[in-house]
Amino acid sequence: MSADERIPLRAPMRSDAIKTGPDRAPARAMLHATGLDAEAIARPLVAVVHTWSNISPCNLN
C-alpha cells in the first residue's frame, strides 16, 4: 500500500459538520453548557426522530 492509499483512522462523521472548526465554536460552547465534556462532544451525535406530532390536527392519525 502506498502513502496515497492509506486508510483514514476515522471516517468523518455527519455530526462533525455542526461541531468541528472555528466557525462552530458557538455550537461547541452550547454543548459544553449542557454538561458535555470535550470527550463526549468528540463522539458521534445521534438523534432519534419521528414524524408524529400533536402540534397540528393534520398530524393526528
Query: What is the band of 59 on the pLDDT scale with cuts at 50, 70, 90?
Result: low
pLDDT of residue 24: 94
pLDDT of residue 2: 61
Measured CA to CA, the distance from residue 38 to residue 36 in angstroms comes to 7
The pLDDT of residue 28 is above 80: yes
C-alpha cell at 24: 462552530
Helices of type H across the chain: 25-33, 38-42
pLDDT of residue 51: 75
Averaged pLDDT of the chain: 82
Rounded average pLDDT over 35-55: 84
